[in-house]
Amino acid sequence: MVATIPDLIDNSKHKLAEVLQSLLAQGQLPKLDVVTAFFNLKALELLEPGISALARLRLLLGKEQEREFVLGERLLAELEDATSRAETTTADIERWRAFLSQNHVEIKRFDKGFVHGKAYIVHGVPTLGVLGIVGSSNFTGAGLTTNLELNAILKQASAVTELQAWFDALWAEAEDYKPKLLELLERFTRTYTPYEIYIKVIYEALRDKLDQELAERDEKPSPIALADFQHDGYLAAKEILENYGGVLIADSVGLGKTFLALRLLEDYAYRERQTALIICPAAVAETVWRPWLRQFAIPHEIVSMEKMSRRDFPVDEHARRFRVIVVDESHNFRNPDTNRWPNLFKVITQGDPDKKVILLTATPVNNTVFDLYHQLRLIARDDRQLLLAAGIPDLWEYFRRAEQNKDALYEVLEALAVRRSRQFIRQNYPETEIDGKKIRFPKRELHTVHYSLKDTYGFALYRKIANAIENLMLAPYQLDTYRRDIIEVSKRQAKQLALFEFPEEKESAVQRLQEVLGWSRDQAQEFLMTVGRQTALAHILRVLYLKRLESSVEALQISLLRLHRFLNLFLRALERGRLLKSEDYRRWLQFEVSDEEGVEDTMDLENFLASLPELPAERYDVESLRAAVEADLGMLENILDELKRERPDDKLETLKDLLTSVELQGRKVVVFSYFKDTARYLHRQLLQDNDFLSCLGHRRIAIVDSNVKPSERNTCITRFAPRANGRSDLPLVEQIDLLISTDVLSEGQNLQDANVIINYDLHWNPVRMVQRIGRLDRIGSPHEVIHVYNFFPEEELEELLGLLENLRRKLDAINRTVGLDASILGETPNPMDFNILHRLEREDEETLQELEAQSELAVGEFLKQDLLRFLKELGEEKLKHIPLGVGTSRKKAKGPSGFFAAFRNPVTNQHHWLFYDETQGRIVERRLEAIQHIRCGPSEPAVPLPEDFDPRPFIKKLRRHLWNRIRAVELAPSRLPSPQRQIVNWLYALPPSADRNRLLEYFAQPLSGPGLKELRRFWRERLSLPPEKWLKFLMEFAESHPHPPSAVVKEKGPLAPEREDELECIAWMRIVSKD
């Protein structure tokens, strides 16, 4: 309490708050009149308890200078700042809202001019009666305490009377502002539903993207017509390109990704004159890309993926020449073990560091999440810390953790990808048009076609073939199990190792090998890796033979003949002392699976075997090897003799019946097979059957596979779909109505003249079916329905899947023990695919949507969908009126109790969603996992919070956790991959020298993929090299593998704010479980 009333108040010696507190405390039924330009609740708090005892409070709000009245905006901002920092609670605000709503409190706004003066008139002051204060202090916390102000106290009755008259005159002309002020405060104090808080969290996270999509389109006119959703995708892609130097455009099949890329090329290649390289399958180079690029006069060069796969591809020339690189069907670069991946990586990383990389694919994931990882490495240039600002400290570790749950990919996709599903476009752009024409999306209908495998082969032969495939020894693929040093240990142990099934963890397997064979740990690990991969390759071949068994007699026969020939030549090579080394298996496997991948049969078996290195025969048990190969040859000869006999082909006859059925009369039809041997067989058999042709009514049948030249392939496509390819005038007699194809046609082609697909083989990779349907179901399709016919062996499906499941278990065991290459894992049967096969057989059409979502990675798309539905029904203003820092409570039937909070990092503008699980005492950091705890619908009721509930401890706990994590990421050094860490340690152990220091500096930076792969191979062989030769190799390695430039990223500097309370709390929610 102030002892005496001063004459001047400057908030230094005397604070205005203290003076007013003293005056109000001494007064009898005190009254207070205030004139101020700004006001906040902190002023009321500072005058407690006297402010609550006032008999009357009149608050007159003015404005300074000739600007708009901004007190409401300023008060809102201050309150949001306080609530988002957890400095105040809604309960605190409610207390003052209740005070201001009382009848004896009046609030007005003077809006007829600006009011610069501030005044306080206190009634009921002992002795004086009325006292006035005039000066510079606004009625705010800072104005009453901390700002350097100057206020004079009027004690003379005449002066106070004149001040009161001035106040009353302004008051009489002012307008009532109390309802608006209470309405503003009520935004913080009202009870929000869980649905409103859930949508508010999403809205604030996606707000910038929405604003961009809704902004006025003031860019330069373009001849490239885009639908609304395409234009929105183009804007998003361009922003990602500018931020990270690369973007993945992964919209659903048939939504026009090519046109998004063309629009970006118009910006960079046409307007900015940057040199552009388009990499695409040869099949679409002339039919899709070149015509459009020429039409829009975009300078370019096109390189086919097939050309890029060559070992002699001129990498340096292309790396030097091009600054914009578009990769169409980029999922073909999902395997870094192929030639094409390192070639493209070098083109991107060498030369200009500011290259733009545009990846296009509707199916970024074919088998595992690492399919996506290896594509994104091309954007990141193997900079594993590219997405630090997005909360991803290490890209590799992020994907490793996401392997079991693709929803965990949400953060990386939000940062680097543009992806919209067909369902999303249909729901949110229902009236979208291109050049005034409304876009339509056909319905998809599944049809099952049954046939009998046993009738196709004959019951006895089918059973014999299935057993033979399962029992093939395939000894050439498992050479190391025939090593003499192993066999000589003991007959029992040799058998145990030769039939090794990898049932155990790696560590125990290594220890067992050390004990049994007396090897060092390195020797045991190397052997385990080698035998595991060899055994896996043998299993993969069995898988491929089973797939061919289902496809056609012809495909199986050709493959078994190839194996028979290979084994014969292997025996001849064995007599000359030549054996396959482990790296040769991959070459042979690639040849064996080339039929699926659409690669031409260019490998010559005899030349291949003649090129193999000579291995010392004394190291292997040649007699056991020969016996195993001869046993396989005898079994194969028996089966091949029976396959030569002519018999009715039930599967082929079923296809003929379908093609001549009433349902397919007059329709254009595409028949797909995984195998070109099967496709050729069908083409030949159909054209040779005159009775079938008579029933079909035409001979307009053609085939497209990898052996058809690109020019002929393009002609076939145009003749089959003339309307879609700009030849509507093509006469009927020149058209093709039945097209037989492998998956060489499932990428990038426009076949929407047709609306019937027949899948002749089982869907071993169901994602391929999505790609196939996408050739017909595209923007501009004239059809209402796309019909998809799937062939299934009616009685033998379970047996076939059982054989594959047995092989899958063996491959999984090997993978758990030694880890397998992506090329091997990609061929491994997937139990999830088996379930999908059953659902497809039942014609469950929801399966198609799920497959699209799986292949498209529509991860987290529901968030934007939920937000857009809210905006459509309730409008954006409702969300804008929900202030930051507010929260609510909900009750859930299942799941843990806990506390959710959403934060925004003002440094990076990154949003973080965290959930504190009270049951387990852990904090969930992954955004999709966290927000699932608060996701709900409009009918979800709010649960009353306990009167003593204070959210601030929870908010502060989660905020501190987040701030510490961001700081840890910011300060953490780059992690070196293996074996770089070991090499650095080895170099540190050497005596100091100039070469050693240069190498330490070089290896202190993480290496990129191709170089790291080579280094790992040499690291395994280091034990055979003396230190000086190893050092020399490292010097040569460093010179030939310069560090690539990292992608240019806008986000630079610190990641975390200086203080943790600067992390803004967007909203919070208390979750109470019924469990």
Please write the tens of the pLDDT for every residue from 120-144.
999 988 888 899 999 999 999 999 9
Alpha helices in 85-193 (DSSP H): 90-100, 141-145, 157-173, 178-189
- Tokens representing residue 578 in the block: 């030549």
Q: Which amino acid makes up residue 243?
A: N
Given a cut of 50, whether residue 201 has pLDDT beyond it is yes
Closest CA to 284 of 826, 774, 823, 783: 774
Within a 10 A sphere around the Cβ of 53, how many other Cβ atoms?
A: 12
In contact, 32 and 167? CB cutoff 8 Å: no
Provide mean pLDDT across the span 268-279: 94
Provide mean pLDDT across the span 1012-1019: 74
Same domain, 434 and 352: yes
Provide mean pLDDT across the span 850-877: 82
Could you say which of 438, 471, 490 is where a domain stops? 438
* Strands 910-917 and 898-905, sheet pairing: antiparallel
Given a cut of 80, whether residue 609 has pLDDT beyond it is no
Given a cut of 50, whether residue 851 has pLDDT beyond it is yes
Within a 10 A sphere around the Cβ of 260, how many other Cβ atoms?
A: 27
Instruction: Give the three-class secondary structure for 451.
Output: strand
Instruction: Give the three-class secondary structure for 647.
Output: coil
Within a 10 A sphere around the Cβ of 706, how many other Cβ atoms?
A: 20
- Dihedral angle computed from the Cα positions of residues 551, 557, 559 and 563, in that order, rounded to the nearest 10 degrees: 150
Could you say which of 611, 643, 675 is where a domain stops? 643
In contact, 396 and 836? CB cutoff 8 Å: no
pLDDT digits (tens, 9 = 90+) for 202-234: 999 998 877 665 554 446 788 998 888 888 889
User: What secondary structure letter does DSSP report for 51?
Assistant: G
Domain boundaries, position 742: 443-451+648-792+826-852
Could you say which of 593, 610, 643 is where a domain stops? 643
pLDDT digits (tens, 9 = 90+) for 1030-1058: 788 888 888 877 776 654 444 456 788 88
Same domain, 25 and 171: yes
CA distances from 159 to 152, 166, 168 (A): 12, 11, 14
Given a cut of 70, whether residue 601 has pLDDT beyond it is no
Name the band, by pLDDT with cuts 50, 70 and 90, for residue 496.
Answer: very low
Provide mean pLDDT across the span 686-690: 95
Spell out a b/e string for 833-861, using b for 16 or more CB atoms within 10 Å of the CB, else e: bbebbebbbeeeeebbeebbbbbbbbbbb
- Tokens representing residue 761 in the block: 């083989």
Residue 133 belongs to a domain with what CATH number? 3.30.870.10
Same domain, 208 and 234: no
- Tokens representing residue 21 in the block: 């507190």
Same domain, 434 and 577: no
Q: Is residue 510 part of a domain?
A: yes
* Strands 1064-1073 and 886-892, sheet pairing: parallel
Average predicted confidence (pLDDT) for the chain:
84
Within a 10 A sphere around the Cβ of 444, how many other Cβ atoms?
A: 19
Same domain, 14 and 156: yes
Q: For residues 974 and 1039, give the distance between their C-alpha atoms in angstroms, rounded to a whole number.
A: 22
Among 31-45, 706-720, 799-813, the range with the most confident prediction by mean pLDDT is: 31-45
Lowest mean pLDDT among 189-203, 492-506, 508-522: 492-506
Half-sphere exposure of 312 (CA within 13 A, CB side): 0
- Tokens representing residue 168 in the block: 């009353």
User: Tell me, what's the pLDDT at 505?
Assistant: 58
Q: Is residue 703 part of a domain?
A: yes
Same domain, 284 and 429: yes
User: What secondary structure letter does DSSP report for 945?
Assistant: P
Better pLDDT: 496 or 412: 412
Q: Is residue 802 part of a domain?
A: no
Given a cut of 90, whether residue 672 has pLDDT beyond it is yes
Same domain, 909 and 980: yes
User: Tell me, what's the pLDDT at 603?
Assistant: 47
Residue 312 belongs to a domain with what CATH number? 3.40.50.10810
User: What secondary structure letter does DSSP report for 674?
Assistant: S
Q: Please, which residues have CB within 8 angstroms of residue 422's CB and are 6 or more apart in sequence?
A: 252, 253, 254, 255, 441, 852
In 398-539, which ranges are E strands?
Answer: 417-418, 433-434, 437-438, 443-451
Name the band, by pLDDT with cuts 50, 70 and 90, for residue 400.
Answer: confident
pLDDT digits (tens, 9 = 90+) for 908-929: 899 999 999 998 999 999 888 9
Count of structural domains within the chain: 5
User: Tell me, what's the pLDDT at 8?
Assistant: 94
Q: Is residue 815 part of a domain?
A: no
- Note the Cα 161 to chain centre separation in Å: 72
pLDDT digits (tens, 9 = 90+) for 148-169: 999 999 999 999 999 999 999 9
Same domain, 1013 and 959: yes
User: Tell me, what's the pLDDT at 434?
Assistant: 74
Given a cut of 70, whether residue 583 has pLDDT beyond it is no
Given a cut of 60, whether residue 595 has pLDDT beyond it is no
Same domain, 330 and 219: no
Residue with tokens 């090593």: 483
Spell out a b/e string for 756-783, using b for 16 or more CB atoms within 10 Å of the CB, else e: bbbbbbbbbbbbbbbbbbbbbbbbebeb
Name the band, by pLDDT with cuts 50, 70 and 90, for residue 194.
Answer: very high
Given a cut of 50, whether residue 599 has pLDDT beyond it is no
In contact, 452 and 796? CB cutoff 8 Å: yes
Lowest mean pLDDT among 132-136, 407-411, 441-445: 407-411
Q: Is residue 1021 part of a domain?
A: yes
Q: Is residue 819 part of a domain?
A: no
Same domain, 559 and 674: no
In contact, 467 and 802? CB cutoff 8 Å: no
Name the band, by pLDDT with cuts 50, 70 and 90, for residue 656.
Answer: very high
User: Tell me, what's the pLDDT at 934?
Assistant: 96
Residue 683 belongs to a domain with what CATH number? 3.40.50.300
Given a cut of 70, whether residue 495 has pLDDT beyond it is no
Given a cut of 50, whether residue 592 has pLDDT beyond it is yes
Given a cut of 60, whether residue 586 has pLDDT beyond it is no
- Tokens representing residue 946 in the block: 């306990």
Given a cut of 60, whether residue 605 has pLDDT beyond it is no
Q: For residues 533 and 811, give the distance between their C-alpha atoms in angstroms, rounded to a whole number.
A: 9
Q: For residues 867 and 738, give the distance between their C-alpha atoms in angstroms, rounded to a whole number.
A: 45
* Long-range CB contacts for residues 962-967, cutoff 8 Å, separation at least 24: 962/903, 962/912, 962/914, 962/1063, 963/1056, 963/1057, 963/1060, 963/1063, 965/925, 966/391, 966/905, 966/1055, 966/1056, 967/1055, 967/1056
User: Tell me, what's the pLDDT at 287?
Assistant: 81
Q: For residues 680 and 687, give the distance between their C-alpha atoms in angstroms, rounded to a whole number.
A: 11
Q: For residues 347 and 317, give the distance between their C-alpha atoms in angstroms, rounded to a whole number.
A: 8
Same domain, 230 and 218: no
Provide mean pLDDT across the span 555-577: 86
User: Tell me, what's the pLDDT at 573?
Assistant: 78
Instruction: Give the three-class secondary structure for 47.
Output: coil
Same domain, 838 and 863: no
Name the pTM for this structure.
Answer: 0.75
User: Tell me, what's the pLDDT at 746?
Assistant: 62
Q: For residues 552 and 681, give the distance between their C-alpha atoms in angstroms, rounded to a whole number.
A: 8
Q: Is residue 799 part of a domain?
A: no
Name the band, by pLDDT with cuts 50, 70 and 90, for residue 725.
Answer: confident
Closest CA to 883 of 1069, 1071, 1067, 1070: 1067
Instruction: Give the three-class secondary structure for 31.
Output: strand
Q: Is residue 370 part of a domain?
A: yes
Q: For residues 475 and 477, give the distance between their C-alpha atoms in angstroms, rounded to a whole number.
A: 5
